[in-house]
Each structure stands twice: as structure tokens, then as C-alpha cells.
Amino acid sequence: MDSRVTIFENLISVKQQKGAGYLILIDPDKQSPEKTVQRAIDSEQNGADALLIGGSLLFSTQFDHLVSKVKEKLKIPVIVFPGSLRQISSYADAILFLVLISGRNPNNLIGEQVLAAPIIKALGIEPISTGYMLVESGRATAAEYMSNTRPIPRHKPEIAIAHTLAAEYMGMKLAYLEAGSGADLTVPNEMIYAVAKNVTIPLIVGGGIKKPEEAYEKVKAGASFLVTGNVLEEKSDFGLIRAFAQAIHHLEK
Ligand code: 1GP
């Protein structure tokens, strides 16, 4: 990783070179700290372009320490995907500066951001402004419950388009279409296609993706970055990580 380029620029060049980027999400609460570090190493060695770390809730009290341990071992960017203010770490390369634009909860639209901004500035972490949208996925997800917001109906792509355009016009760098961690149903390909056709900012898509073929379809529909979390949590499956990376990096085929 060239330290003169920002993490955002690094992600964009991954997308340009490989067709799309593969982000693996690790929730620190889902395994021991040792296992978290090992999973991060396995992710890098088998084709992930960046590691996301965070969760809707956080039971662990060792977040900062854990990020430092993960960072020590990795060359790919370590990006915080924060569920709350407790998930800010000076050891991370960047933080997704999330604005929950699909909801109408002022706390997730500006409240948390105002509290986080001075901390991010003081710690010198790169914030990547991201319009975050929850998409209806079959049953209530943790992000939905914790944020006390309603997701975008899955058969209303025009609502997702309008929200993503608003994010773009407000100067956000990325948009994240999120079905939710462990979602029953993934973000519909039709919605990804409709949004991608109408905006210029890159789309991150995640939630409930279990198969490399699904990831490939979402990339073909217009996703610039794919996130998987749960599917790799049960066991270390290097083959599956490689298959996801191969499906997502479609320009490398
Ligand atoms: C959740 O999009 C991510 O925030 C990943 O979801 O754990 O279901 O892969 P999964």
C-alpha cells in the first residue's frame, strides 16, 4: 500500500484494476481476539482488498487494542465500520464516516457525527463519508433495531435512487446499500442496477451474501465493493474466501 495515497483513493484504484473490491467484515464480538487476528490474516492472504472491523453492538471492551493487533499483521487497509462512537480507533487506516440516510433519526443523521468528528480529527484517522442505507431484507436486522429506523422497501428502487442521489449531491464519497448482517434476503440486484445507473459515486453492497455467484451478480449489477461477514464466521474456509475474491475481481479473470 502506497502511503502517499489516501485509503479512499486506494479503494478506487482497486475497483479500477480488478472490476470491484472485496471487503471482509469482522465483528470483534463473534470470536476471541486471537481468532479475530487470525481471520484478518486469512482474509488478506486469500484475496480481500481491505478489512472492515466493527458491529452494530459491541460487547468487547478491547476494541482499540484489537484494531492495533490486527493492524500490526496486515498490509491491506483496516477500516472501521462503526456501530457507535465506541468504535473509533487510532490504529485504523480509515473509518467509514456513516450517515444513516435511509432513516429519519437525527441522532444517526448528525448527532453521532458531531460527537465523532473531533475525536477522528484528534486521532488523525481518514474519514470516508458514506451514505448508509438499510434495505428491507425479510426480517428486522440489528442495524434497523439499534438505529430505530425503517429500511427502504426492497421493491422500491426509485426510493434508493433518490437517497443515493441526495448523498452524492451532499458530497458523500460512497453509498452503502445494506441488507443487514446475517440478512435472510440480500439487496435486490434490480435495486443495485437502478441505483448504479443513476449515480456516479461507488456503491458498497452487503448483508446476507452467502455465495460467490451472488457476489458476482451484484458486481455485474453495478456494485463497486462487496462485503461479506457472517458466511466466513463459522469456520476458516480459505477456498471460499478465494472464490469470493475471484468472483468479485471479475476484470482479473
Ligand atoms: C453487514 O454488510 C455486512 O453490515 C455483512 O453482512 O454478515 O450478512 O455478510 P453479512
Give the position, in ligand 1's atom list, of the atom nearest the Cα of 210. Answer: 9
What pLDDT shows up at residue 57? Answer: 64
> In sequence order, what E strands does the chain have?
21-26, 50-53, 78-80, 94-100, 126-134, 174-178, 203-206, 225-228
Atom 1 of ligand 1, residue of closest alpha carbon:
181
Domain ranges of the chain: 7-248
CATH number of 7-248: 3.20.20.390
What pLDDT shows up at residue 68? Answer: 96
b vs e for 24-57, b when ≥16 Cβ sit within 10 Å of the residue's Cβ? Answer: bbbbbebeeeeebbebbebbbebbbbbbbbbbbe
What pLDDT shows up at residue 240? Answer: 97
- Ligand 1 center–CA 228 separation, angstroms: 5
Atom 4 of ligand 1, residue of closest alpha carbon:
181
What pLDDT shows up at residue 62? Answer: 83
What pLDDT shows up at residue 215? Answer: 98
Among residues 194, 234, 186, 177, the alpha carbon closest in space to that of 212 is found at 186
Give the position, in ligand 1's atom list, of the atom nearest the Cα of 207. Answer: 6
- Ligand 1 center–CA 26 separation, angstroms: 9
What pLDDT shows up at residue 253? Answer: 67
Antiparallel, parallel or unpaired: β 174-178 and 126-134: parallel
Q: Collect the ranges in the chain with pLDDT lower than 50.
A: none
* Pocket-testing residue among 192, 228, 244, ligand 1, by greatest number of atoms within 8 A of Cβ: 228
What pLDDT shows up at residue 233? Answer: 85
User: Does any ligand 1 atom lie closer than 6 A to the CB of residue 82?
Assistant: no
